Structure 1
Amino acid sequence: MKFSQLFTAVLWSTAAAAQGQPVPLHNHNGSAPPYFVASSNRPYTALAGDAMAIMDQGMRRANTNGVPEHDFVTMMIPHHQGAIDMAKAILVHSKDPGLRNLAQGIIVEQQNEIKIMQAWLQRYQASRSKPQKTSTEKDSHVHQ
């Protein structure tokens, strides 16, 4: 495990434990992604750093396949989640009504966009699992 991965695991474990929440399991192959915990026990800068580290890790571990549309969506999901996490962090630390309203809007919009991207991925996966007609099958249908 790289130092940065170990450091990230320690950050999440500490944050989760501070909130009395279960500590996420981490391993070197990334089977259990870390999650963000917004806590007033930690300064905003630490929470923002956590959110960015998780986002970066999620984007780097995105299941890409070389198809630009697919890769864009798989990388944008953790990117949007990072925005949600940063918005949660400012909600914990700010009383400014304008910023709180902005953060709440970011959470709602980014969650909606994540759902749209997840639906796109489901349609994409479904279209890839359908048997494709061969050129001979296509030609025979056209000539009949």
Structure 2
Amino acid sequence: MRIPFARVRHGAAVLLAASLGLGASAWSAGDDEAAFLAENNAAMDRMMAGMAAKPSGDIDQDFVAMMAPHHQGAIEMAQAELRYGKNEQLRRIAQEIIVEQQQEIAAMRLALGLALPPSAPAPTQPDVAPPAPAPPPSMPNHHHQM
């Protein structure tokens, strides 16, 4: 049985299109994975450097000096999950980790009488100022009344 050339060519085109689609999807997933791993590695490096605090002679202060970077590392890792993760259950857990770890850092700082860290936007919110309010509509526009 002979298969018509046009049919073979069409089948090859469909296979090529499908493989290109899968390749693009895999490439995108690979890019996300690389970015996720890079962010996590950077967070781990910062955490480990921060935890290597020089002893002060005050056990409580040393504890906070080592634990705060540990918790901050968990926050940064959770932020990377929110940026790149797809599993909604894990994304919710990541959000909880961020809130809980921020609360623990604040509680440890307060216990030592230290100032709280500055407020920052939530990691899933854009870091932009809100738009300026619109002028009240009751102001007449004299220019258009002439």
State TM-score, norm by structure 1.
0.53
Alignment match of 2:109 (pick from 118, 126, 131): 118
Name the SS of the counterpart of 1:43 in structure 2: helix
5+ long unaligned stretches in structure 1: 1-39, 124-144
Task: Report the residue type matching 1:57 in the other structure.
Answer: A
Is 2:35 the partner of 1:64?
no
Task: Give the number of aligned pairs.
Answer: 83
Alignment match of 2:76 (pick from 65, 68, 85): 85
* Alignment partner, residue 89 of structure 2: 98
1:70-126, CA deviations, whole angstroms, 9 ceiling, x for partnerless residues? 211111001100000000011111121110000000000000000001111217xxx
Alignment match of 2:47 (pick from 45, 55, 61): 55
1:7-55, CA deviations, whole angstroms, 9 ceiling, x for partnerless residues? xxxxxxxxxxxxxxxxxxxxxxxxxxxxxxxxx6962111110000011
State the superposition RMSD in angstroms.
Answer: 1.9
Instruction: Write out the 4+ residue segments of structure 1 that deviate beyond 4 Å after TM superposition.
Output: none
Is contact 1:48-1:89 (8 Å) kept?
yes
**Larger Rg computed on CA atoms:** 2
State TM-score, norm by structure 2.
0.52
- Identity of paired residues, percent? 47
Give the distance between the partners of 2:45 and 2:57, measured in 1 at CA: 24
Give the distance between the partners of 1:120 and 1:74, measured in 2 at CA: 13
5+ long unaligned stretches in structure 2: 1-31, 115-146
Shift of 1:66: 2.3
